[in-house]
Amino acid sequence: MINFILNNQKISTNLPFSMKVLDFLRSQQGINGTKVGCRTGSCGTCLILVGKLDKDMVSYQPLNSCLLPLAEVNGRHLVTIEGLNCPQLNPIQQAIVNEGATQCGYCTPGIVIALTAFFLNSPSLNESLATVALDGNLCRCTGYQSIKRVLTLLCQQFTLPNEEQRSSWLIKNQILPTYFLEIPQRLQTIQAPKSHLTSISPNSTIVAGGTIPWQSDSSKQVIFLSQREDLSGIQIAANRCYIGATTTIDAMQHSQVMQKLFPKIEKYFALLASTPIRHRATLGGNIVAASPIGDLSIFFLALGASVDLNDGQNQRTIPLKGFFKSYKQIDKQSNELVERVHFPLPDCHAYFNFERVCKHADSEIPSVNSAIQIQMNDGLIQQIHLSAGGVAPIPLYLTNTVNFLTGKEIKVEVICEAGKIAQAEISPLSDVRGSTEYKHLLLRQLFYAHFITLFPEQIDSRDILL
Ligand SMILES: Cc1cc2nc3c(=O)[nH]c(=O)nc-3n(C[C@H](O)[C@H](O)[C@H](O)COP(=O)(O)OP(=O)(O)OC[C@H]3O[C@@H](n4cnc5c(N)ncnc54)[C@H](O)[C@@H]3O)c2cc1C
């Protein structure tokens, strides 16, 4: 039985755990404001808010209902566009009307949901943060200029109160209807039981964030890892950083531990996917999917990370660079779970950089990405890790380039030579994201970009790009 609150109504259902929330809303509840778009989490027309009780507050995330299974709303508050309606148009809806920011109207419910999440969660109200909040919403009519005017209007219209008063302030300003006030109390009575899953059978389907399409198969048990709270979180112990497999991109991006280790992580991870996907996409899912262009695989390869695997009986640890075998083949048995990824803490002489290039926009699967970590000692490279995606059948650790650079001084001739070695150890294919030649060139440019960014005194772009 799955229990949750849908807008202002308590729901209990025995429908399959794996049914997508979008289908539940439209075909079971006749709630049609949530639209069907791409069904791949790319367009945002099916966005809903999902609220989770956290002590006596509810924290809401905008999620793609086309990817979200019913199991994941157990014990939660689910809000569709219908659940945001007040007696009159709310200020977000009114701003959209005032600025003529709805043309065919199909994307509008998703945009209202995304902007409501912005008001619920944003640390401040400014246009650049509001634009990021809409990074998962497409408007097929390309009415982006009028949508931008809506953001300007809303950011000028309101000033946020302090954190504790946020919900009552949103209700007072009719951005949320009044029934939201009672939701924390009501959710207390329908908390979902915790799972104590310990073993995985080879015949199970594992779902973490579920952002990579999966089919439910009645002969297979579906295991929803989000219920394993022990697999989520970031900790430092014994000079290493441990990240649970179900930790999301959003959680890493906003973690104080990660921000201290990688001061630019907010900027790096803002480039990945979109706000709703970052709330769901996990580290474990990214590396197990073994996409040759997987951003997290590339990021953690450059940290010299290791992976802990567990089959319920035994645990083993392997280096991430040995985890990827061939295209989508990994060193993992079907009954093994990736429990965590961990890496040695970089010391104060370590430099880190992450680069990615996309064909159209940043928040899209890149053509080529690359990460580097360098530890210097006495002006020489003492240790280096270098990775690149989109240039081989697997997320690639560039062993030959690493071997060449170890012990070297950083100067233009050395980096040019290393760039040639890097290009020689990749084997990109031509595809929709670029030709083989283009990807060879991109890798070299990203490799140079690492050094131009990290060592501007030794490597000047005008010298190296001649
Ligand atoms: C619109 C959109 C944009 C995207 N953009 C990007 C992007 O910019 N960069 C990028 O790298 N990726 C991107 N992705 C791909 C995807 O979101 C990420 O790779 C994500 O990290 C996958 O994590 P997940 O938790 O959703 O995995 P899931 O879909 O839940 O799982 C993926 C696979 O891993 C297995 N699995 C998951 N966790 C474990 C575990 N702990 N142990 C064993 N097996 C496990 C599952 O069984 C499944 O086979 C995008 C996806 C979408 C839909």
Between 216 and 58, the higher pLDDT residue: 58
Question: Tens digit of pLDDT for each residue in 302-323?
Answer: 999 999 999 999 999 999 999 9
Between 20 and 215, the higher pLDDT residue: 20
Q: What is the mean pLDDT of residues 82-101?
A: 95
User: DSSP per residue over 377-415, as a string?
Assistant: ETTEEEEEEEEEESSSSSPEE-HHHHHHHTT-B--HHHH
Question: Tens digit of pLDDT for each residue in 444-463?
Answer: 999 999 999 999 999 999 88
Report pLDDT for 191: 67
Question: Tens digit of pLDDT for each residue in 381-422?
Answer: 999 999 999 999 999 999 999 999 999 999 999 999 999 999
Going from the Cα of 359 to the center of ligand 1, the distance in angstroms, rounded, reads: 21
Going from the Cα of 213 to the center of ligand 1, the distance in angstroms, rounded, reads: 9
> In the structure, what pLDDT confidence band is assigned to residue 198 with cuts at 50, 70 and 90?
low
Q: What is the mean pLDDT of residues 202-217?
A: 88
Report pLDDT for 164: 74
Report pLDDT for 193: 60
Going from the Cα of 285 to the center of ligand 1, the distance in angstroms, rounded, reads: 4
* pLDDT > 90 in the chain, percent: 86
For ligand 1, say whether the CB of 40 is within 6 Å of any of its atoms: yes
Question: Tens digit of pLDDT for each residue in 142-184?
Answer: 899 999 999 999 999 999 988 778 999 999 999 999 999 999 9
Report pLDDT for 9: 97
CB-count exposure of residue 243 (10 Å: 0-12, 13-18, 19+)? buried
Report pLDDT for 96: 97
**Which of 220, 286, 318 has most ligand 1 atoms within 8 Å of its beta carbon, as the pocket-test mutant?**
286
For ligand 1, say whether the CB of 66 is within 6 Å of any of its atoms: no
Report pLDDT for 361: 65
Going from the Cα of 101 to the center of ligand 1, the distance in angstroms, rounded, reads: 33
Report pLDDT for 465: 80
- Atom number, ligand 1, closest to the C-alpha of residue 309: 42
Closest alpha carbon to 321 in 429, 398, 268, 244: 398
Report pLDDT for 349: 85
Give the lowest-confidence range in 2-11, 26-35, 187-196, 446-455: 187-196
Question: Tens digit of pLDDT for each residue in 248-267?
Answer: 999 999 999 999 999 999 99
Report pLDDT for 215: 80
**Domain map (residue ranges) of the chain:** 196-345
Q: How far is CA 29 from CA 51, 62, 80, 105, 278, in A?
A: 19, 20, 12, 22, 28
In this structure, the residue with its CA closest to atom 51 of ligand 1 is 211
* Integer Cα distance of 452 and 291 in angstroms: 28
* pLDDT > 70 in the chain, percent: 97
In this structure, the residue with its CA closest to atom 12 of ligand 1 is 294
In this structure, the residue with its CA closest to atom 14 of ligand 1 is 273
Residue 81 has pLDDT above 70, yes or no: yes
| Fold that domain 196-345 belongs to in CATH | 3.30.465
Query: What rounded mean pLDDT belongs to the chain?
Result: 94
Report pLDDT for 158: 95
- Atom number, ligand 1, closest to the C-alpha of residue 297: 11
Between 192 and 68, the higher pLDDT residue: 68
Going from the Cα of 103 to the center of ligand 1, the distance in angstroms, rounded, reads: 33
* Integer Cα distance of 466 and 463 in angstroms: 6
For ligand 1, say whether the CB of 341 is within 6 Å of any of its atoms: no
Strands, DSSP E only, in 313-379?
315-319, 324-326, 329-330, 337-344, 350-357, 368-377
Report pLDDT for 199: 66
> In the structure, what pLDDT confidence band is assigned to residue 204 with cuts at 50, 70 and 90?
confident
- Atom number, ligand 1, closest to the C-alpha of residue 206: 47
Going from the Cα of 300 to the center of ligand 1, the distance in angstroms, rounded, reads: 15
- Atom number, ligand 1, closest to the C-alpha of residue 271: 8
